[in-house]
Structure 1
Amino acid sequence: MPNETRELPAANDGLYRFLGGSPLAVAFRLILLSMLVGVVLSAIGFDPWNILSSIRRLFDWIYNLGFDAINWAWRYFLLGAVIVIPIWLLSRLFGTPRGR
């Protein structure tokens, strides 16, 4: 069985090697990847016309998100503690003594 290898034109060997494939296929992949990354960046609030402001807003959003999560957890902790701590305290005070 002969070894069939597809040979690229000699003039484009350096170009194919540099791009990692045919120029048309590489351009197509780059366009699709750019659109996908653009959708993700748009979803988190990036604006291509004012990129520095978008980056600053992203860091502000991440910073606020962290403190909002702490605030959220603290509120639920306090709400649960209003019920749990008194019940635990009463069960410790009036519970049956256990032998050691």
Structure 2
Amino acid sequence: MSLLRFLAATFKIALASLITGAGLSFFDLSSAELLARIGMTPADLWAYIMRGVTWAVPNILLGSLIVVPVWLLTYIFLPPRGDA
């Protein structure tokens, strides 16, 4: 059932994005123009995204060195809970 909820949420986000994009297109607004209004360029946005990714990936991997083994031990040694 959770896959169905995930797909429904994904569809709703895609539909909202499509409607918003169509509305912005109707008013002749582009993503470059919107970025220019806040003082950014597409290259600046890409640089910020890449900077975020290069910061996040090593930290995710570092955290997973602790989280995954703890989860695995918990999964193995704790008795399963009932679906009450």
Q: Same fold (TM over 0.5)?
A: no
TM-score using structure 2 length: 0.42
Q: TM-score, normalised by structure 1?
A: 0.36
Higher helix proportion (structure 1 or 2): 2
Q: Return the index of the structure with the highest Cα Rg.
A: 1
